[in-house]
Protein backbone atom coordinates (compact mmCIF):
# COMPACT_ATOMS: atom_id res chain seq x y z
CA UNK A 1 0.00 0.00 0.00
CA UNK A 2 1.11 3.57 -0.59
CA UNK A 3 2.16 5.20 2.68
CA UNK A 4 -0.61 7.83 2.66
CA UNK A 5 -3.19 5.16 1.79
CA UNK A 6 -2.15 3.24 4.90
CA UNK A 7 -2.72 6.37 6.97
CA UNK A 8 -5.99 7.47 5.42
CA UNK A 9 -7.71 4.09 5.03
CA UNK A 10 -6.94 2.73 8.51
CA UNK A 11 -10.05 2.47 10.61
CA UNK A 12 -10.71 0.63 13.87
CA UNK A 13 -11.82 -2.96 13.30
CA UNK A 14 -14.22 -4.61 15.74
CA UNK A 15 -15.08 -7.82 13.84
CA UNK A 16 -12.28 -10.28 13.18
CA UNK A 17 -11.87 -13.43 11.13
CA UNK A 18 -10.66 -16.43 13.05
CA UNK A 19 -7.57 -16.63 10.83
CA UNK A 20 -3.94 -16.62 12.01
CA UNK A 21 -1.63 -13.73 11.22
CA UNK A 22 1.48 -14.66 9.24
CA UNK A 23 4.43 -14.99 11.60
CA UNK A 24 6.63 -12.72 9.49
CA UNK A 25 3.94 -10.02 9.52
CA UNK A 26 3.64 -10.18 13.30
CA UNK A 27 7.43 -9.88 13.53
CA UNK A 28 7.36 -6.72 11.38
CA UNK A 29 4.50 -5.25 13.41
CA UNK A 30 6.54 -5.69 16.58
CA UNK A 31 9.63 -4.34 14.86
CA UNK A 32 7.69 -1.19 13.92
CA UNK A 33 6.97 -0.58 17.60
CA UNK A 34 10.56 -1.24 18.57
CA UNK A 35 11.74 1.48 16.17
CA UNK A 36 9.47 4.22 17.49
CA UNK A 37 10.80 7.46 18.95
CA UNK A 38 10.64 7.88 22.71
CA UNK A 39 11.53 10.29 25.50
CA UNK A 40 15.37 10.37 25.60
CA UNK A 41 15.17 7.12 23.64
CA UNK A 42 14.43 5.33 26.89
CA UNK A 43 11.96 2.93 25.25
CA UNK A 44 9.84 2.51 28.35
CA UNK A 45 7.23 0.47 26.47
CA UNK A 46 6.66 -3.21 27.11
CA UNK A 47 4.40 -5.29 24.89
CA UNK A 48 2.66 -8.44 26.01
CA UNK A 49 1.65 -10.44 22.94
CA UNK A 50 -1.14 -12.95 23.47
CA UNK A 51 -1.70 -15.54 20.77
CA UNK A 52 -3.42 -18.18 22.88
CA UNK A 53 -7.11 -18.10 21.81
CA UNK A 54 -8.24 -19.25 25.24
CA UNK A 55 -6.54 -16.32 27.00
CA UNK A 56 -7.83 -13.84 24.40
CA UNK A 57 -11.41 -15.03 24.98
CA UNK A 58 -10.99 -14.79 28.74
CA UNK A 59 -9.62 -11.26 28.52
CA UNK A 60 -12.44 -10.20 26.22
CA UNK A 61 -15.00 -11.59 28.61
CA UNK A 62 -13.54 -10.57 31.96
CA UNK A 63 -11.39 -7.45 31.81
CA UNK A 64 -13.64 -4.78 30.34
CA UNK A 65 -14.06 -1.46 32.09
CA UNK A 66 -17.79 -2.12 32.11
CA UNK A 67 -19.23 -5.60 31.82
CA UNK A 68 -18.40 -7.46 28.64
CA UNK A 69 -17.80 -4.33 26.54
CA UNK A 70 -14.67 -5.85 24.98
CA UNK A 71 -16.25 -9.12 23.89
CA UNK A 72 -15.47 -8.28 20.25
CA UNK A 73 -11.81 -9.26 20.57
CA UNK A 74 -12.74 -12.93 21.03
CA UNK A 75 -12.03 -14.07 17.45
CA UNK A 76 -8.85 -12.08 16.89
CA UNK A 77 -5.75 -14.30 16.56
CA UNK A 78 -3.51 -11.87 18.42
CA UNK A 79 -4.01 -9.41 21.25
CA UNK A 80 -1.27 -7.00 22.22
CA UNK A 81 -1.26 -5.33 25.61
CA UNK A 82 0.67 -2.07 25.37
CA UNK A 83 2.35 -1.45 28.72
CA UNK A 84 4.96 0.92 30.04
CA UNK A 85 7.38 1.23 32.90
CA UNK A 86 6.84 4.91 33.81
CA UNK A 87 10.08 4.98 35.82
CA UNK A 88 11.93 4.37 32.56
CA UNK A 89 10.45 7.43 30.84
CA UNK A 90 10.17 10.99 32.14
CA UNK A 91 8.07 14.11 32.35
CA UNK A 92 8.21 17.72 31.25
CA UNK A 93 5.71 20.45 32.17
CA UNK A 94 3.79 18.00 34.27
CA UNK A 95 3.21 15.69 31.32
CA UNK A 96 3.99 11.99 31.64
CA UNK A 97 5.83 10.86 28.55
CA UNK A 98 5.43 7.14 29.13
CA UNK A 99 1.94 7.57 27.70
CA UNK A 100 3.27 9.33 24.64
CA UNK A 101 6.14 6.87 24.11
CA UNK A 102 3.86 3.88 24.27
CA UNK A 103 1.08 5.41 22.18
CA UNK A 104 3.51 6.37 19.42
CA UNK A 105 4.99 2.87 19.31
CA UNK A 106 1.58 1.20 19.39
CA UNK A 107 0.29 3.37 16.56
CA UNK A 108 3.35 2.48 14.46
CA UNK A 109 2.44 -1.16 15.04
CA UNK A 110 -1.16 -0.58 14.02
CA UNK A 111 -0.23 1.21 10.83
CA UNK A 112 2.27 -1.49 9.91
CA UNK A 113 -0.44 -4.07 10.53
CA UNK A 114 -2.87 -2.23 8.28
CA UNK A 115 -0.26 -2.22 5.51
CA UNK A 116 -0.64 -6.03 5.56
CA UNK A 117 -4.46 -5.82 5.67
CA UNK A 118 -4.44 -6.60 9.40
CA UNK A 119 -6.92 -4.57 11.43
CA UNK A 120 -6.66 -3.34 15.01
CA UNK A 121 -8.53 -1.21 17.51
CA UNK A 122 -7.04 0.95 20.26
CA UNK A 123 -8.81 -0.01 23.46
CA UNK A 124 -8.77 2.00 26.63
CA UNK A 125 -12.04 0.75 28.10
CA UNK A 126 -10.36 -1.90 30.18
CA UNK A 127 -9.97 -2.56 33.85
CA UNK A 128 -6.25 -2.20 34.41
CA UNK A 129 -6.61 -3.95 37.75
CA UNK A 130 -8.34 -7.03 36.35
CA UNK A 131 -6.05 -7.20 33.35
CA UNK A 132 -2.91 -7.02 35.48
CA UNK A 133 -4.26 -9.72 37.76
CA UNK A 134 -5.24 -11.97 34.86
CA UNK A 135 -1.85 -11.66 33.16
CA UNK A 136 0.43 -11.31 36.21
CA UNK A 137 1.67 -7.90 35.07
CA UNK A 138 3.91 -6.38 37.79
CA UNK A 139 2.61 -3.58 39.98
CA UNK A 140 5.13 -0.97 38.71
CA UNK A 141 3.99 -1.45 35.09
CA UNK A 142 1.08 0.56 33.67
CA UNK A 143 -1.27 -0.74 31.01
CA UNK A 144 -1.62 2.06 28.46
CA UNK A 145 -3.98 0.26 26.10
CA UNK A 146 -4.52 -2.91 24.18
CA UNK A 147 -5.54 -3.95 20.72
CA UNK A 148 -6.60 -7.04 18.88
CA UNK A 149 -4.78 -7.69 15.62
CA UNK A 150 -6.44 -9.73 12.90
CA UNK A 151 -8.00 -9.77 9.47
CA UNK A 152 -11.27 -7.84 9.35
CA UNK A 153 -14.51 -9.63 8.58
CA UNK A 154 -15.95 -8.40 5.31
CA UNK A 155 -18.79 -6.66 7.12
CA UNK A 156 -18.46 -4.87 10.43
CA UNK A 157 -20.74 -6.35 13.11
CA UNK A 158 -23.60 -4.55 14.84
CA UNK A 159 -21.46 -3.56 17.84
CA UNK A 160 -18.77 -2.05 15.60
CA UNK A 161 -21.38 -0.15 13.62
CA UNK A 162 -22.92 1.21 16.82
CA UNK A 163 -19.56 2.37 18.21
CA UNK A 164 -18.74 4.08 14.92
CA UNK A 165 -22.03 5.99 15.02
CA UNK A 166 -21.69 6.81 18.73
CA UNK A 167 -18.10 8.07 18.34
CA UNK A 168 -18.67 9.65 14.93
CA UNK A 169 -15.66 7.63 13.86
CA UNK A 170 -15.73 8.53 10.20
CA UNK A 171 -15.73 12.27 10.85
CA UNK A 172 -12.54 14.23 10.75
CA UNK A 173 -12.37 17.88 11.71
CA UNK A 174 -11.70 20.39 8.95
CA UNK A 175 -8.10 21.53 8.65
CA UNK A 176 -9.09 25.11 9.55
CA UNK A 177 -10.52 23.86 12.85
CA UNK A 178 -7.30 22.19 13.99
CA UNK A 179 -4.36 23.74 12.18
CA UNK A 180 -3.11 27.30 11.98
CA UNK A 181 0.07 28.87 10.69
CA UNK A 182 2.32 31.47 12.31
CA UNK A 183 -0.21 32.71 14.89
CA UNK A 184 -2.84 31.06 17.08
CA UNK A 185 -6.23 31.31 15.36
CA UNK A 186 -8.11 28.32 16.69
Residues that bind ligand FMN (CB under 6 A): 11-12, 14, 121-125, 163, 167, 169
Minimum distance, C-beta of residue 53 to ligand FMN, in the bound complex (Å): 20
Minimum distance, C-beta of residue 75 to ligand FMN, in the bound complex (Å): 15
Minimum distance, C-beta of residue 104 to ligand FMN, in the bound complex (Å): 12
Minimum distance, C-beta of residue 126 to ligand FMN, in the bound complex (Å): 7
The smaller minimum CB distance to ligand FMN, of residues 5 and 27, is found at 5
The smaller minimum CB distance to ligand FMN, of residues 27 and 65, is found at 65
The smaller minimum CB distance to ligand FMN, of residues 70 and 89, is found at 70
The smaller minimum CB distance to ligand FMN, of residues 116 and 122, is found at 122
Judge whether 85 and 102 are in contact, CB under 8 Å. no
Instruction: List Cα–Cα distances, 178 to 4, 12, 100, 173, 174, in angstroms.
Output: 19, 22, 20, 7, 7
Judge whether 6 and 114 are in contact, CB under 8 Å. yes
The smaller minimum CB distance to ligand FMN, of residues 38 and 102, is found at 102
Minimum distance, C-beta of residue 54 to ligand FMN, in the bound complex (Å): 22
Amino acid sequence: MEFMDVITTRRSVRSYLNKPIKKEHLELILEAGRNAPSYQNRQCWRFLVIDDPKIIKEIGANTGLVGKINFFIKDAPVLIIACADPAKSGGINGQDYYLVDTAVAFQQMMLTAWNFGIGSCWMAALSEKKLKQALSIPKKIRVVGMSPFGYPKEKEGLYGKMVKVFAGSNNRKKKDDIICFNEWKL
